[in-house]
Amino acid sequence: MAAQRRFQTVKGMHDLGGWKASAFVFVEEKAREVFSLYGYDEVRTPIVEETELFVRGVGEGSEIVGKQMYTFDDKKGRSLTLRPEGTAPVARAYLQNNWASGPQPVKVFYMGPYFRYERPQEGRYRQFHQIGAELIGDPGPYSDVELLVMLVRFLQELGFEDLEVGLNSVGDVECRKRYSQRLREYLAPYRDELGADSRRRLETNPLRILDTKAPRERELLENAPRLFDDLGGRAHDHFQEVREQLVQADVAHRIEDKLVRGLDYYTRTVFEITSTALGAQNAILGGGRYDGLIAELGGPSVPGIGFAIGQDRLVDLVLKIPGARQRLNAEAHRRRPVCVIPIGGSYRRHGMELAQELRAAGIPAICEFDSLRPLKARLKQAARHDCRWVVLFGEEEEKNREVVLRDFQDRSQETIPRDGFAAAVAAKIRPDEQP
RNA sequence: GUGGAUGUAGCUCAACUGGCAGAGCGCUUGAUUGUGGUUCAAGUGGUUGGGGGUUCAAGUCCCCUCAUCCACCCCA
Average pLDDT over residues A107-117: 96
pLDDT band at A159 (very low <50, low <70, confident <90, very high): confident
Residue nearest to nucleotide B34 (CA to C1'): A375
How many C-alpha atoms does A15 have within 13 Å on its Cβ side? 5
pLDDT in tens, A185-237: 888 888 777 777 787 787 777 888 888 777 777 877 887 888 877 777 788 89
φ, ψ at A194 (rounded to 5°): -85, 150
Mapped to the 3 state alphabet, what secondary structure does A149-186 carry? HHHHHHHHHHCCCCCCEEEEECCCHHHHHHHHHHHHHH
Residue A85: predicted pLDDT: 94
Q: HSE (CB half, 13 Å, CA atoms) of A252?
A: 10
CA A9-A24-A408 angle, 5° bins: 100
A226: in domain: no
**Phi-psi sector, A252: left (phi>0), alpha (psi -120 to 50), beta:** beta
Are A344 and A302 members of one domain? no
pLDDT above 80 (res A334): no
pLDDT at A2: 35
Last residue of a domain, one of A271, A305, A325: A325
Å between A203 CA and B75 C1'?
22
pLDDT of A241-257, one tens digit each? 999 999 999 998 998 88
The boundaries of the domain holding residue A286 are 18-172+232-325
Strand B close residues, chain A 1-30, CB < 7 angstroms: 3-4, 8-12, 14
State which of A272, A306, A325 marks the end of a domain: A325
In whole angstroms, what is the distance from residue A281 CA to residue A137 CA? Answer: 32
A160 shares a domain with A64: yes
Task: Tell me what the mean pLDDT of segment A287-310 comes to.
Answer: 93
Q: In whole angstroms, what separates CA A213 from the centre of its chain?
A: 26
**In 3D, which of A133, A48, A112 has the Cα closest to residue A83?**
A48
pLDDT at A36 over 70: yes
A191 or A316, greater pLDDT: A316
pLDDT tens-digit series, residues A389-426: 999 999 999 999 999 999 998 889 999 999 999 999 99
Higher-confidence position of A359 and A278:
A359
Predicted confidence at residue A339, as pLDDT, reads: 95
Instruction: Name the nucleotide nearest A383; use CA and C1'.
Output: B36
End-to-end CA distance of chain A: 64
Query: Which CATH number covers residue A147?
Result: 3.30.930.10
Whether residue A399 is contained in a domain is answered as: yes
User: Which of A 295-324 have CB under 7 A of nucleic chain B?
Assistant: 308-310, 312-313
Q: What average pLDDT is seen over chain A?
A: 89
Is the Cβ atom of A416 within 7 Å of strand B at any atom? no
Q: Provide Rg for chain A, Cα atoms.
A: 28
| Strand B near-CB residues (< 7 Å), A 364-393 | 373-377, 379-381, 383-384, 392
Q: Is the pLDDT of residue A4 over 60?
A: no
Q: Is the pLDDT of residue A1 over 50?
A: no
Q: How many domains does chain A have?
A: 2
| Nearest in space to A312 (alpha carbons), one of A113, A18, A69, A65 | A113
Find out whether A144 and A242 touch, Cβ atoms under 8 Å.
yes
